[in-house]
Amino acid sequence: MSGAIVTSKKVWQRHDRKTQLAVWAAWLFGTAVFVYCFQLISERTIWAFVWDAPAQAADLGARMVPPAWSYIHYLWRPIWDTLNIATLGTIISIVIAVPIAYCAARNTTPSVAFVRPVALFIIVASRSINSLIWALMLVTIVGPGVFAGIIAIGLRSIGFVAKLLYEAIEEIDESQVEAVRSTGASAAQTTVYGIVPQVMPAFAGITVFRWDINIRESTVLGLVGAGGIGLELNAAITQLYWTQVSLMLLVIIGTVILSEWVSAKVRHAII
């Protein structure tokens, strides 16, 4: 009955029969793995604790209020340290990351065969180690305090800033660079006139974004002794001063909101 219609109209489907079957099989497999894993985890979980969790949370919450507002005088200094760790760490990372990004970008690197792999390795090494781990190591090397925190933040940020910056450099419009070069400009002049204006918005965005992340990261660095408000937080938690803990959490949230606001403003102004 439909023979005539089938020959007169072309059938179109997103997937052919084979692909449809494969997609369906993939979903089945995924669901099976999920159910199996859930069982495994369930067997190793003490469910009594989980059912108890809301009550525990409510209890802890009750012990946290009201925040110990009078303690705020002791927090200005640590939060100022935290801001300094983030800001100075970001500045250090930028100073180091810019030349690394220049060497890592395929279109600006002095040598694709030798310099570029080294630059890429530095980027990967910096990115693969969390700032908390950098801080742990640096506290043993340079001793506890703000300085270790600054260096930790700086080392962790190099990879982030350099990676995003070199990607931005690789995406520039080569014809603008070519035009500057064709006037007889030197390599340095070509960089300043042809490349820098093109990557400036990306650079500003990356910097402010990383500063924003670093403020959040530097709040926890104190946990391993690298200065800032994390140090106070750690002390308060171990001594079970929950009202102080809640106050510090509020201060941290306030700082992060402030940094978000500043970075949004700056990004908006530059781009």
CB of 108 to another protein, least distance (A): 16
Instruction: Give yes or no for residue 71 binding another protein (CB under 8 A).
Output: no
| Size, binding site for another protein by CB under 8 A | 21
- Closer to another protein at the Cβ: 127 or 181? 181
User: Structure tokens of 39?
Assistant: 């069982």
**Residues in Cβ contact with 205 at an 8 Å cutoff, skipping those fewer than 6 apart:** 267, 270, 271
Instruction: Give yes or no for residue 182 binding another protein (CB under 8 A).
Output: yes
Instruction: Give yes or no for residue 271 binding another protein (CB under 8 A).
Output: no
Stretch that binds another protein, among 24-32, 57-65, 99-107, 177-185 (CB under 8 A): 177-185
Rounded to whole angstroms, the Cα distance separating 78 from 226 reads 11
Query: Rounded to the nearest 10 degrees, what angle do helices 131-142 and 196-221 cross at?
Result: 70
* Residue from the set 200, 257, 258, 264 that interacts with another protein by CB under 8 A: 200
Rounded to whole angstroms, the Cα distance separating 167 from 160 reads 11
Rounded to whole angstroms, the Cα distance separating 169 from 155 reads 21
- Closer to another protein at the Cβ: 25 or 192? 192
Instruction: Give yes or no for residue 194 binding another protein (CB under 8 A).
Output: yes
* Residue from the set 189, 253, 254, 265 that interacts with another protein by CB under 8 A: 189
CB 147 within 8 A of CB 88: no
* Residue from the set 52, 59, 171, 178 that interacts with another protein by CB under 8 A: 178
